Structure formats: structure tokens, C-alpha cells
Copies of this chain bind each other. A is one copy, B any other.
Amino acid sequence: MTNKFPQRSHCPINYALESFGDKWTLLIIRDLMFNDKQSYGDFLASGEKISTNILADRLKRLEELGIVTKGAQAPNRSKVAYSLTQKGRDLLPIMLEITRWSGKYDADTYASRSFLMRLEQDRDKLIAAIRAGW
């Protein structure tokens, strides 16, 4: 059987690109990681206006890649709750370094001064603190 996700190479940068190298996937991961979102409707409501078919496609893909899991949290609730797996949570350092870079170069960044300060001054503690909340 041929692989569903053909790979161009096993370069680590390329592996990451083939996992989440598009304009939408990291936004879903951001919402799961930092914004307490977990449902399809939550993701749809994000500021960047992802369209429904793309969202469904990306969620499916993230599940197949083992970055996200889908589960009905409370048993008698119909609402689907997505959450990050360990593989997904391990994206935290990448997300934080991206935030740092954008915080430095986007004059109008939404990232708060205080968060960027913490990131700059004690990245490792910040990571530990976030992980402690998981």
C-alpha cells in the first residue's frame, strides 16, 4: 500500500513542513494550546476565518498524524472535544520561538509586552510553567 502522506525527504525541517506547513494548521494548534478552544465551532470562530471544509480537513489530518485526538469529553455530551497529544504538546517550544520572533518583528503584534518579556528573560521557566498546567 502506498503511503497516504508521501514525503519529499526526511530532512527535519521538511518533516515539520509536511506535518503543519500550511497557512492554517498552526492556528488550530495555537487555539488548542493557548486559547482554551477545543471544538469545531471554537476554531471556526477564530479571527482568521478559516472555512469549514479546510477546518474539517486539517482536523482529520492532525488526528491522522497523531498531533490531535478527538473525543467526546463528557459522555452524554454531543459536543466533540479535540485536544493535543504529547506530540502536539511538544510543539510548545516551536510555538514560543515563533511568538518571540513575531513579537520582535511585527510592530503591531497581539502578543502582550509582559508575555514577550517573560519569554525573553526566562524561556525555560515559562515552558515549565505552561507544561505544569497540562
Provide 6 A-B residue pairs closer than 8 Å at the C-beta atoms, listed in order of the A residue: A9-B48, A14-B27, A16-B26, A90-B104, A91-B101, A93-B100
Additional pairs, 9, CB under 8 Å, beyond known A13-B99, A16-B101: A9-B47, A9-B48, A9-B110, A11-B30, A11-B47, A13-B27, A15-B102, A16-B102, A22-B23
How many chain A residues touch B (CB < 8 A): the figure is: 40
- Given A21-B21, A47-B8, verify A102-B13 contact (CB < 8 Å): yes
Q: Which residue of B lies closest to A102 (CB)?
A: B12
Give CA–CA (A14, B47) in the complex, Å. 10
User: Does chain B have a CB within 8 A of A111?
Assistant: yes
Q: Which of A1-42 contact B (CB under 8 A)?
A: 8-18, 21-23, 26-27, 30
Q: Which of A90-132 contact B (CB under 8 A)?
A: 90-91, 93-95, 97-106, 108-111
Does B26 contact A23, Cβ atoms closer than 8 Å? no
- Given A10-B106, A108-B10, verify A23-B27 contact (CB < 8 Å): no
User: Does chain B have a CB within 8 A of A49?
Assistant: yes
Q: Closest 7 interchain pairs by CB? A: A12-B102, A15-B102, A8-B48, A12-B99, A93-B97, A9-B47, A94-B97
Q: Which residues of chain B are within 8 angstroms of A8 by Cβ–Cβ distance? A: 47-49
Give CA–CA (A8, B23) in the complex, Å. 11
